[in-house]
Structure 1
Amino acid sequence: MRLFLLSTSLAALLFSTGCSEAQSDDKKGKGGKKKDKKESLENNLIESAIPGLRRVGALNGGVPESSGLARAETAGTFYTHADAGNEPILYKIDMSGRLLGRSTLPFPNVDWESLAQDDKGNLFVVDAGNNNNSRRDLVVYRLNPNSQDLSKIAFSYSDQNAFPPSKKQRNFDCEASLWHAGKVYLFTKDRGAQSTSKVYTLSDQPGTQKARLLTSLAIPGEVTGADVSSDGRRIALLAREELFMLEGSSFEAALKASPRRISLKGSGQTEGIVFHKDDNNKLFISTEEGAIYEYQL
């Protein structure tokens, strides 16, 4: 195992952003009022079309997009990031989308696609975007925003032998992950038109690993985000403008359940999802375009 230490505290960096973003929000003027009215109308249309979905914010202040989402330390705050082609920055935002801080991380953003988090405050940055199914440098970075600890899990899929495989077998692109009981679970985005999300597991400890194929889920959509409720009985899988819920008496039982589809049509390119820490009936969802939603099950 090789441990990488940051030269400066991630916690300090996350709060290095000045007040310019918040100040600019306070100076909307007449143009801001018109924008508010437009957004209010859009919100009403979305909420009437999708019961339980409520738009609560939108990214601003230099956050280009939200490809992954995780809870931050304070209620109503989150970590997010952009994917390939963007800087290796972890952003801290509030529920309204206002930028609270940012940290440039000391590893490249080849194609960050997901964030997972454990019960000790560690974040897992999943650099496993693999559109062509040809990558051999897949990695999960483990970090704690409140310390200098940073390590990595380099991995490959146990059942991948060709790079890339035939078009029908291209199911090694991962844009969704979650942590549960010492393991990182990876959910693939099927690019072989089989409507199947494969579920792999990794130990959450640093090192070089083979991602073990655990099961396959019949998902009629391309999975872009995942999270598990605090009681382990609900697994939420996000796809583009749709949500799939798997529920059971335990995490293992939920993984065997038939997915329940919930349409999110009109919400945008939904990519980040996280359960409320204290409410297993409430989810927060972010989109690549920057919208932030609250969804009540």
Structure 2
Amino acid sequence: MLFNKKIMALTITAVLSAGLLAGCVSKEETTTEEPSLAEGSSSKIILVGSTSVDPLAQKLAQAYKEINPNVEIEIQAVGSSAGIKAALDGSATIGMSSRELKDEEIAEGATPLVICKDGIAVAVNPENPVQNLTKDQVQKIFMGEISNWKEVGGNDEEILVVSRESGSGTRGAFEEILKIEKEVEGKKISGLIANALQAEGTGAVKANVASKANAIGYVSLGYIDETIKTLQVEGADATAENIIAGTYPVARPFVFVTKGEITETDQTFLDYVMSAQGQAEAEKDGYIKVK
């Protein structure tokens, strides 16, 4: 009788041990590298900001929703400064910026996360015969010191400068990198030529350059297509390879901005963006991954 009790005890122990092992194996098998929310979770992410970051954010959101279909993601492209402000005042859960954050924005509580890097291509109409400009020539064109294409090897035609609106992250980065600025009463301000055509959004810059033979503007790498022609700067094409090599000089970060403690929903999305899969999505469109 005692022998049978021992056998029964050993049998129960074995069954319990098998169950625990099965549980461990099951947990490992369901773990993936793709960050995902708990089953049944339904939440909303609001991204507001840079029109340059917008195309990439749309693709990241679409790819992320394939993993987490219950998450609603709303994206508003209104410019970098507006996006940072939205993250700070809570009207957005994540801001989008195509420039470095200013010291005062960080002092207000803005936390930057660089999600990738991007080049800013100098763009002209496809009919324009000019192929290459120096940084100095680009600066002088946008400041109005060079006003005719013949001064840089082109046709005898007046140059039409197309720029982004004030507050644009792309404009801020472009002007900072190329020093398109002037000093007034000890303070640096934009040196953009007064009669520049200012377009709301990178898409509008591209449309103007594509439709106006003597125009020059600047666009994010993600906006390049056959409707415009990109110029070499200092002899280098605007490509990810040249930005990594340091030969193309006009580049800037793409930044997601948060403030304070964020929700699990937002954090899981940011984890996805910085994961191998999220970085691969950025790389597909010619952006430079940071992880």
TM-score bracket relative to the smaller structure: under 0.3
Q: Which has the higher contact order (CA 8 A, sep 6+)?
A: 2
Higher Cα Rg, which structure:
2
Q: TM-score, normalised by structure 1?
A: 0.24
Q: TM-score, normalised by structure 2?
A: 0.24
Q: Compare the two structures and name the one with the higher strand fraction.
A: 1
